[in-house]
Structure 1
Amino acid sequence: MPAPPAASDHRGDLAEIVVDVAAIRHNVRTLRELTGVPVIAVVKADGYGHGMVESARAARAGGATWIAVVTVQEALELRSAEYDGPLLCWLTLPGVDLGRAVEEGIDLTAYSVAELDDIAAAAEAVGRRARVQIKVDTGLHRGGAPRATWAEVFARARAGELAGSWKITGLWSHFACSDEPEHPANDRQEQAFRAALALAADNGLQPGLVHLANSAAAVLRPSARFDAVRCGIAIYGLDPAPGRTPDIGLVPAMTVRSELAMVKELAPGDAVSYGQRWTADRPTTVGLVPVGYGDGIPRHAFHEGGSAEVAVGGKRRPIRGTVCMDQFVVDLDGDRAEIGDEVVLFGPGADTPTAQDWAEACGTINYEIVTRIGGRMTRTYVDSEAPAGEEPS
């Protein structure tokens, strides 16, 4: 298991996001061993805040068979970064030029006959057979072919295959409630997915890759693993179903840290930040952390019911008062601290708040915490498994 990343020199930066690529490799290996099937590593939204290209490289090094993103633009960026392996994208809009994606061998996802027609036109324009996966809606009622259209979509998919427009390389869907393993929607969706597979076979389709399970289902629902599992948040070491997932040894890959920009003393009755929503009830010291909601820190990290915490001097320190665009204040509880002392917002350390801690304090999910973080922060990559002095691969 990778060790927590060592401190790096981030002086002069407001804050630093440190991503340990060894943790991503480790998590992919762990998921492969647990599930016994190939892993499709999802690196959409800039790798959930970890960096899309670097996360893809680490995931592949950890044994991920496929890489998946949402947009054609993301997929093309990976191709430009010299990733030439299997690559899936799953959301396009009318009018998007699909020709280069076809030329680059990117698997395009279709939800409708109209999308298949667009792919056929792109394939004809560039003179190359496309790679297509079909996504069916089994109950999430977001993207994917509605059940009433499955027959016509499958028929068009087969016709295009026979005409040489494309190869149908996969069929997939997505759970709505996999992080709640006892939710009845999970059984309904899996049953619907199996019905879609049967109907696709009746139409002569033999999709090469059948996948349904996202991170939570990959861990909690073995019957949904099929040909591969499609893992996003878990490859970054975060719990896809907090409170329900057994400890399988995932390691958080992201650490966010800054340093104190100011330390001052408060007297009882002194109020802090906009709206003066927190007032000291005792003499205390507070520290100023030079990042805020302009850098992805949730403004509701402080609220009437409590607050998120950071680590300063080996202790957890609560945020006090409204989070501002560029800064927030933490209560040092009278302890001595100096300008420049390290502040760890969240990370994998034993005495450090986690992204899940922040999610619970902010009333959201760990996905949002890591994905939104950034702004003016510097992102640094480390490899805790590499020999000293060796650059991350």
Structure 2
Amino acid sequence: MNDMNGVAHPGAVDSADAPAGASGGYPRAQATIDLDALRSNVAALRAKAPGAAFMAVVKADAYGHGMVPCARAALEAGATWLGAATPEEALALRAAGLGGRVLCWLWNPGGPWRACVEADIDVTVSAHWALAEVVAAARAAGRTARVQLKIDAGLGRNGVQPDQWPDLVRAARTAERDGLIRVTGLWAHFSCADEPGHPSVARELAVFRRALDQAAAAGLTPEVRHMANSPGTLTLPESHFDLVRPGVAMYGISPVPQLGGPADFGLRPVMTLTARLASVKRVPGGHGVSYGHRYVTAGETTLALVPVGYADGVPRHASGTGPVLVAGRRRTVAGRVAMDQFVVDLGGDAAEPGDEAVLFGPGDRGEPTAEDWARACGTIAYEIVTRIGARVPRVHTGG
């Protein structure tokens, strides 16, 4: 399989079977990606917004799940748009032969505007300089660029400020009349949709609706107007407009864990992260474990070595807190997570080198979930799955 830049990943595989190690044994670690679960999640999310088109957000290598296989599965399940953050991601989707509509939004001056125009990618304009660059790219390419205008409704990141929005939509309409661009979309992003009842939600919806009215007054007639991310799709039907943009929910992670877990929304986690024990040994009481000896054995015990660490995306913040299923029971990381490995204390339980350790998955077997890891590390489940590194092979099943 290729990465999102079209470069072959030596550890990535598309087979439904687990890859053998260099000696024909078990792999050190792997992330198993259940594409059937992803398709089911797309169906469940589409049912939440039956009147809206569906954009599958596959940025950041599909939140660590493998961009191209996940994009294909999402399209098979009824998505009609793909969402990428960077133009390089969007171009990689086209290079992989994926059709349909593709939107990208994170631009800097001098970006590959012309390449995206020529690849029929919808590009986001969030400032006057960006409109000027895409207009120049359209002239150079000799074809009309597909453009979506973004307003900053309150998030404070990308998007034009509301007081500059009327000027931008008028300028875009002028370029549209000249045949240089076609404004295909108008959009915004919530700041606190994952906090139900937050006062910013109504305020930002009002900003967006006013922006839509101003765009209409300028003569723009976009194909899609959109604002709903994962929490918006699940909990804010008034935000669905013409299109919804689920990201993390598509991968089976609840964006509002305070309201319910994945199953409460008809979702199933897509990624299961496992490793094979590299060492199992008995040690006496008073034995230090890992750097700094932050953990010392209380008595004679069995230590198991799990051969993944922060170079693989296991958070160092999980030191002493991260949950893992080993030998049929949940354990906690003993001592510090190192670059390539961490230790668990099995107490009186037995295990063998090569036995499976499950860091997270759907939870069917009593294993931790990505949300469990997020709570243990003081972060969000988005980060847990997205940070899993390239040297952990992705094995896609159901594809």
What is the 5 A alignment of 1:91-102? 91-102=106-117
Deviation at residue 7 of structure 1 after TM alignment: 7.8
Match for residue 254 of structure 1 among 261, 267, 271: 271
Match for residue 94 of structure 2 among 47, 71, 79: 79
Match for residue 39 of structure 1 among 54, 58, 63: 54
What is the 5 A alignment of 1:330-341? 330-341=344-355
For normalisation by structure 2, the TM-score amounts to 0.92
Match for residue 36 of structure 2 among 7, 19, 22: 22
Deviation at residue 378 of structure 1 after TM alignment: 1.4
What is the 5 A alignment of 1:54-69? 54-69=69-84
Deviation at residue 6 of structure 1 after TM alignment: 8.9
What is the 5 A alignment of 1:41-190? 41-190=56-205
Deviation at residue 12 of structure 1 after TM alignment: 4.3
Match for residue 274 of structure 1 among 260, 282, 291: 291
Taking the aligned partners of 1:101 and 1:57, their CA distance within structure 2 comes to: 20
Q: Give 5+ residue unaligned stretches, structure 1.
A: 384-391
Taking the aligned partners of 2:323 and 2:128, their CA distance within structure 1 comes to: 50
CA RMSD of aligned residues (A): 1.4
> Contact between 2:26 and 2:354, CA under 8 Å: does it hold in 1?
no
Deviation at residue 203 of structure 1 after TM alignment: 0.8
Deviation at residue 348 of structure 1 after TM alignment: 1.0
> Contact between 1:138 and 1:147, CA under 8 Å: does it hold in 2?
yes
Deviation at residue 241 of structure 1 after TM alignment: 1.0
1:291-350 superposed Cα distances (whole Å, 9 cap, x missing partner): 1111111011124xxx11111122111110000001100121220111110111101132
* Equivalent position amino acid for 1:250 in 2: L
> Contact between 1:136 and 1:150, CA under 8 Å: does it hold in 2?
yes
**Does the residue aligned with 1:332 lie in a helix, a strand or coil?**
strand
Deviation at residue 13 of structure 1 after TM alignment: 2.5
Match for residue 360 of structure 2 among 314, 339, 346: 346
Taking the aligned partners of 2:162 and 2:183, their CA distance within structure 1 comes to: 19
Taking the aligned partners of 1:245 and 1:312, their CA distance within structure 2 comes to: 27
- Number of aligned residue pairs: 377
**Structure 1 residue runs of 4 or more that deviate by more than 6 Å after TM superposition:** none
1:104-126 superposed Cα distances (whole Å, 9 cap, x missing partner): 11000001121111111000101
For normalisation by structure 1, the TM-score amounts to 0.93
1:311 and 2:325 aligned: yes
Deviation at residue 8 of structure 1 after TM alignment: 3.4
Taking the aligned partners of 1:248 and 1:376, their CA distance within structure 2 comes to: 32
1:188-219 superposed Cα distances (whole Å, 9 cap, x missing partner): 10111111111111111111100001001110
1:8 and 2:18 aligned: yes
**Does the residue aligned with 1:131 lie in a helix, a strand or coil?**
strand
Q: Report the more deviating stretch, 185-194 or 9-18.
A: 9-18
Deviation at residue 265 of structure 1 after TM alignment: 1.7
1:291 and 2:308 aligned: yes
Taking the aligned partners of 1:112 and 1:333, their CA distance within structure 2 comes to: 59
> Contact between 1:219 and 1:245, CA under 8 Å: does it hold in 2?
no
* Equivalent position amino acid for 1:323 in 2: V
1:148-194 superposed Cα distances (whole Å, 9 cap, x missing partner): 21011011111011110111000000001011011101111011111
**Does the residue aligned with 2:164 lie in a helix, a strand or coil?**
helix
Taking the aligned partners of 2:299 and 2:236, their CA distance within structure 1 comes to: 51
1:40-83 superposed Cα distances (whole Å, 9 cap, x missing partner): 11000000000111110011111111100011111110001001
Q: What is aligned with 2:338?
A: 324
Q: Give 5+ residue unaligned stretches, structure 2.
A: 1-14
Deviation at residue 281 of structure 1 after TM alignment: 1.6
> Contact between 2:17 and 2:395, CA under 8 Å: does it hold in 1?
no
> Contact between 1:110 and 1:132, CA under 8 Å: does it hold in 2?
yes
1:256-288 superposed Cα distances (whole Å, 9 cap, x missing partner): 111111011232211210010011223321100
> Contact between 2:327 and 2:350, CA under 8 Å: does it hold in 1?
no
Taking the aligned partners of 2:72 and 2:187, their CA distance within structure 1 comes to: 24
